[in-house]
Chains A and B, each alone.
Chain A
Amino acid sequence: MFRRSLLALLLLAPVAVSAQERPITVSSTTSTEQSGLFGHILPIFTRETGIPVRVVALGTGQALDVGRRGDADVVFVHDRAAEERFVAEGFGTERRHVMFNDFVIIGPAADPAGIAGGRDAPAALRRIADSRAAFVSRGDRSGTHAAELRLWQAAGADPVAGRGQWYREVGQGMGPALNTAAAQNAYILADRGTWLSFRNRQELRVLVEGDERLFNQYGVIPVNPQRHPHVNAAGARRFADWIVSPAGQAAIAAYRINGDQLFFPNADRPEPAPGS
């Protein structure tokens, strides 16, 4: 009896979706996966098209590398400069903008650098640097890391001087970085989606938000079949077409955590220029 049930357990196929269509692999970022957005929109896509989606969630830099090596059919990330380079190098067919969310500066409730309530993100970072208050950086070439470095540049401050002291690069995803900041009562730049779904907040609060320079644009790029002939180009194109279509955009807008909308679809509008 026991043996039979064990056997049944072992024979269970790991694939849940038994659609006829060939699955696509999406190389994306931890923010889209860990915020729960994919859990909400992908079942809708699969229901409409019959295409199962497999998501590999990494930092934007790594996610683009996976596409570059041909290990994914489509990339869905947030670092416009790196995305345009990806297309220019011939690894992607075309980049379309999909949605944006925003970054927030998180910090301890005690706020030793005194930045709470501000709307000027670079000014807040300058105060953190001046007070040498602990700041956790992703340090992993992710889109969030790239955005953080752009903000430091705008602030005219060089955090690298504080490396190993108050500036702490953890080289990990958004969640682990937030766990580190919570444990050390440190400041951190985070995307709002991951923050809203993050559970281990301890003393951390949102201190600075609403600066236009904190906008975070996402783009979708099918991997170029001329570069990697084995990719599921048809499936990738359908995914990219769907996510910028009214149906895909509505699915994105409908995703909320405790009533808060996390991602704002903007495929039909010019995107806000980053860092301007």
Chain B
Amino acid sequence: MPGLSEAFGLALGLVLAGDAALTRIVALSLRVSLTAVLVAAALGLPLGALLAVARFPGRQTVIVALNALMGLPPVVAGLLIYLLLSRSGPLGSWGLLFTPTAMVVAQAVLITPIVAALARQVLESMWEDYAEQLRSLGSSALRAVPTLLWDGRIALLTVLLAGFGRASAEVGAVMIVGGNIEGFTRVMTTAIALETSKGDLPLALALGMVLMAIVLTVNAAAQLLREWAARRLG
């Protein structure tokens, strides 16, 4: 691959030059994906915990549905949100189409099922160990949810990272609902898609390397946090 070293040099040059357009695109990517992770955590973690502890009719159906939604194609999610947010759609009066908010919504829709389904998995095995103990203390299953979430926070961090990974790597949905508007809704993945379209493959690859570096940094930060927490608890 002769383009690889050229791309690497370009990526390094872009980062070292502190290119203003690139900085803006990177900042927007982080802002959109981290906000989507926050939304997904607020919705998905309690839902996952609830499914882990509560037993109710239809629970299996909800779990199967969540697992299936993990595979929701981004383009389909993007299209549905496009039709909802379009001026001619039911939520058109909000004027959100082609804005960063619409992109947050799209990514949150994609990763909330992932967060909820993985959280349920993690918390259910914890719950099996805990159930006896908590019940003997007279605590109900529902009241155990905050305890479970708190005790499982280290494992849940990995769950959120999985969500962040999917959100920041996603291109199909944010392209449709964001419109890839320069200086307004252009993020790393849509910029990469655009440069690929223009046939500037080295630049596209260079942007891809920058994106990988950012994702790596976020994961390394999470790992440090985990170790720090483990030491403090240990």
Interface on A for B, CB 8 Å cutoff?
9-10, 12, 14-17, 25, 30, 34, 39, 54-57, 68-71, 173-176, 178-179, 182, 197-201, 228, 230
Contacts and interface: CB of A to CB of B under 8 A. Distances in A.
B199 A175 contact: yes
Given A175-B197, A230-B95, A55 B24 contact: no
A16 B183 CA distance: 6
B184 A54 contact: yes
Contact of B27 (A9, A55, A68, A200): A9
Contacts of B100: 14
A54 B87 CA distance: 16
**Dominant secondary structure at the A interface:** mixed
B97 interface: yes
A9 B30 contact: yes
B184 A176 contact: no
B160 to A, nearest CB: 16
Contact of A34 (B87, B184, B197): B197
Given A34-B198, A70-B88, A230-B87, A10 B98 contact: no
Nearest to B187: A14
B197 A12 contact: no
A178 B27 contact: no
Contacts of A57: 180
A190 to B, nearest CB: 11
7 contacts: A10-B30, A12-B23, A16-B183, A39-B182, A56-B180, A179-B199, A198-B199
Contacts of A12: 23-24, 27, 31
A-B pairs, top 6 by smallest CB distance, nearest first, are A175-B197, A200-B199, A70-B87, A56-B179, A69-B88, A199-B199
A171 to B, nearest CB: 13
A178 B199 contact: yes
Contacts of B194: 34
A71 B184 contact: no
Contacts of A30: 197
A68 B184 CA distance: 22
Contacts of B140: none
Given A71-B98, A228-B87, A230-B95, A16 B198 contact: no
A15 B31 CA distance: 13
Contacts of B30: 9-10
Contacts of B197: 30, 34, 173-176, 179
Contact of B196 (A70, A179, A197): A179
Interface string B24-56: 101110110010000000000000000000000
B86 interface: yes
A188 to B, nearest CB: 13
